[in-house]
Amino acid sequence: MSTGKKGEPIIEVEGIDTRFGDNVIHENLDLTVRRGEVIGIVGGSGTGKSVLLRTILGLKKPDAGRIRVFGIDFSTLSEDERRLNEQRWGVLFQDGALFSALTVAENVQVPYREHLHLSQELMDELAAVKIAMVGLKPEAGSLYPSELSGGMRKRAGLARALALDPEILFLDEPTAGLDPIGAAAFDELINDLKETLGLTVFLVTHDLDTLYATCDRIAVLAEKHVILIGTIEDMLRSSHPWIHEYFHGPRARAAFAGK
């Protein structure tokens, strides 16, 4: 569901500092994400990609600076207003974070139970739609997470992230642990969802194929802030040592070969 204009700022991070004790993760970090784009967040291990995602979601409070999502500074909202607006985004954490004691359909229904008052029949119908939307067969709804492959678990997690028709989808390493065919299928799914639902996608990834296949823009985290934001072409032109190594290294050449 898209309620704003494509291209308008949907996530605005202004001058944030983030610390754990003396460990400074972000310093004066700026980032603007536009409605309707898929933005890939890349950077070396430990540069604070996941922490940035968690900070935008309000799970970690920045030590300085301001964050607005949908034009709203969530830190100024009451608990009720915050919960209401949080329904406007969906999150797929790295491990899928499914409840192991619940079936796929029950997992997808968790946000309905949490935020809405719907009949069981309606929740079953809505969950079936989301399960179909992520390319799982209807039978998958009655399976438990332990009965799913890694790729199916990611899709099930995605179905739950999409349960409340979010405007923004946050994905943390969605293709990690998938084989190349499963990862490519997941990339295609992200593109389909972006096209059909007009979603904005905030994607933390190391996967060069995913970057190439799905991202409109890429933001590179290094030296405690976003050092470059732009298209793949902008990345390829950069002479920054890490960016050059990452986008011109042997794995990059393989990912971009023939494209």
Ligand X SMILES: Nc1ncnc2c1ncn2[C@@H]1O[C@H](COP(=O)(O)OP(=O)(O)OP(=O)(O)O)[C@@H](O)[C@H]1O
Structure tokens that stand for 192 in this block: 């389909």
207: number of CA atoms within 13 Å, CB side?
23
Give me the least distance between CB of 240 and ligand X, in Å please: 17
Handedness of CA 49, 54, 58, 64 (dihedral sign): negative
Give me the least distance between CB of 93 and ligand X, in Å please: 12
Give me the least distance between CB of 252 and ligand X, in Å please: 17
Could you give the string, one character per residue 10-29, with x where binding to ligand X holds by CB under 6 A and - elsewhere? ----------x----x----
Give me the least distance between CB of 49 and ligand X, in Å please: 4
Find, among 252, 225, 216, the residue nearest to 236 by Cα. 252
Give 51 or 199: the residue with its C-beta nearer to ligand X: 51
Q: Is 91 one of the binding residues for ligand X (CB under 6 A)?
A: no
Q: Is 95 one of the binding residues for ligand X (CB under 6 A)?
A: no
* Among 40, 47, 169, 174, interactor with ligand X by CB under 6 A: 47
Q: Is 61 one of the binding residues for ligand X (CB under 6 A)?
A: no
Specify whether the backbone of 46 is left (phi greater than 0), alpha (psi in -120 to 50) or beta: left
Pairing of strands 64-69, 38-43: unpaired
Structure tokens that stand for 203 in this block: 């994607």
Q: Is 45 one of the binding residues for ligand X (CB under 6 A)?
A: yes
Inter-residue contact 74 to 67 (CB < 8 Å): yes
Give 93 or 112: the residue with its C-beta nearer to ligand X: 93
# of chain residues touching ligand X (CB under 6 A): 10
Q: If DSSP codes are grouped into helix, strand and coil, which group holds residue 24? A: strand
Backbone phi and psi for residue 42, each to the nearest 5 degrees, phi listed first: -125, 165
Structure tokens that stand for 80 in this block: 């009720």
Give 18 or 214: the residue with its C-beta nearer to ligand X: 18
Q: Is 62 one of the binding residues for ligand X (CB under 6 A)?
A: no
Structure tokens that stand for 111 in this block: 């946000």
Find, among 114, 89, 110, 91, the residue nearest to 100 by Cα. 110
Give me the least distance between CB of 192 and ligand X, in Å please: 26
Give me the least distance between CB of 33 and ligand X, in Å please: 17
CA distance linking residue 160 with residue 146, whole number of Å: 16
Give 48 or 166: the residue with its C-beta nearer to ligand X: 48
Give 217 or 224: the residue with its C-beta nearer to ligand X: 224
Find, among 57, 65, 53, 54, the residue nearest to 29 by Cα. 65
* Among 7, 46, 138, 249, interactor with ligand X by CB under 6 A: 46
Place of tokens 């920054």: 240
Q: Is 48 one of the binding residues for ligand X (CB under 6 A)?
A: yes
Give 152 or 221: the residue with its C-beta nearer to ligand X: 221
Give 46 or 249: the residue with its C-beta nearer to ligand X: 46
> Which positions lie near ligand X, rule CB under 6 A?
20, 25, 43, 45-51
